[in-house]
Amino acid sequence: MSPAASSAAVLYGPRDVRVEPRLLWPPAIGHAQVAVVATGLCGSDLHYFAHGRNGDFAVRAPLVLGHEAAGIVTAVSRDADHLLHVGQRVAIEAGISCRACAFCDAGRYNLCKNMRFCSSAARFPHVDGTLQARINHPAHVLHPLPDDVSFELAALAEPLSVLIHAARRVQLGSVPNEAVLVFGVGAIGLLACALARHRGARRVVAVDINPQRLDFARRHAFADDVFCLPLPPAPSTADQVLAKAQATAAQLLAHFAQPDGFDVVFECTGAESAVQMSVYAAAPGARVMLVGMGTRAAYMPVAAFALREVDVRGSFRYAGTYPEALALLRPVPPALRTPGRATLPELVAKLVTHRFPLAETQRAFEMLARGTDDNGGLVLKVIVEGDPADAAA
């Protein structure tokens, strides 16, 4: 069979994205071809765009970004036609594990050493992401969408999966009437707030250094209360840094009238000072979940969590979360709604603040990097939309 015409937004270097034509071959064994309808831009995409790297992973060849996506199946290899059919609406799980190692066998395929992840430069050759008109992808990680879940919400099943996985590891909701604190109210932090509400938390509060984001979190009922952190201090000795973190944590606990600390703390910034404050803001016997990735090494107040039996855990991406994520994104029947409170899918939908066509991907990234649009409005989640005609071509 001959290749089909497609197009892709390709990163060539820092702040250099070019939309160019491509040829896409029919799907290989075990794969399907998907016309990408919606891709959400995420923080790691922004790092690659702004710096040509994300942490230790530098882009070594032109790379298609994007890994929060959904679309329509346009072709299926013969051996995968029992899984999917042409015209099916699907969410695209971006990780491609080996399916043969001990981690994969144990269901922890997010830890697979041979994982290939769309839009990541961790491996070479890189695996292109979803900012393209069509993509070939393994059929077993294409998840059928419920009819009442939009492509936009399905794209957000990926970041929601990050929080579902983190929530499982920290056992969110295992204790009635939990008080939950979230550091950072970007998209991931807001999803942490939304999921905590859904899991029955008695109180959800959030902290950040950005007043505009905090206002969004409170105004749209992601959080019951918010606190604007002072800017981190200038570099100093490790003991002084910890003392400052402890003092600031005490200040925010006083603000929230939570003197004994919080039952669950989600740290969604990756900033060293916030990681330290997370420990000090946790109650004895509480759980701290480190979700944010931004600090390779942090000076940790070990005694502060060891002597109070505070469990500090990390999480990495997700495993086996997509079915739950897509189920959570379905509309909630009226009989199951809490009067006067937004449902989880309604809160998730509020994260999408801007939309761009694939041809304007460069402009979409530039606006995301600024954090505000041309009118000064807050930018949270940007969706890059595919052309619906690609699904019918």
Those residues with Cβ within 8 angstroms of residue 93's Cβ, 6 or more apart along the chain or in another chain? 141, 142, 143, 158, 161, 322
230 and 133 belong to one structural domain: no
Residue 1: is its pLDDT beyond 80? no
146 and 271 belong to one structural domain: no
269 and 184 belong to one structural domain: yes
385 sits in which H/E element: strand 381-385
Domain range for residue 250? 163-314
319, part of any domain: no
For 223-248, b/e burial (b = at least 16 CB within 10 A) is bbbbbebeeeeeeeeeeebbebbbeb
Q: How many domains does the chain have?
A: 2
* CATH number of 63's domain: 3.90.180.10
What gap in Å lies between CA 157 and CA 160, rounded to an integer?
5
Domain boundary residue, one of 299, 314, 329: 314
239 and 364 belong to one structural domain: no
Yes or no: say if 208 and 235 are a contact pair by the CB < 8 Å rule: no
Yes or no: say if 136 and 364 are a contact pair by the CB < 8 Å rule: no
168 and 289 belong to one structural domain: yes
Stated pTM of the model: 0.95
45 and 108 belong to one structural domain: yes
289 and 360 belong to one structural domain: no
253 and 148 belong to one structural domain: no
pLDDT of residue 391: 63
89 and 178 belong to one structural domain: no
Domain boundary residue, one of 288, 314, 340: 314
pLDDT of residue 347: 98
Yes or no: say if 27 and 83 are a contact pair by the CB < 8 Å rule: no
211 and 260 belong to one structural domain: yes
| First vs last C-alpha separation in the chain | 16
119 and 229 belong to one structural domain: no
Yes or no: say if 280 and 265 are a contact pair by the CB < 8 Å rule: no
144, part of any domain: yes
- 55-107 pLDDT, tens digit per residue, is 889 999 999 999 999 999 999 999 998 999 999 999 999 999 999 999 999 99
The amino acid present at 132, given as its one-letter code, is Q
332, part of any domain: no
307 and 205 belong to one structural domain: yes
- 287-327 pLDDT, tens digit per residue, is 999 999 877 778 899 999 999 999 999 999 999 999 999 99
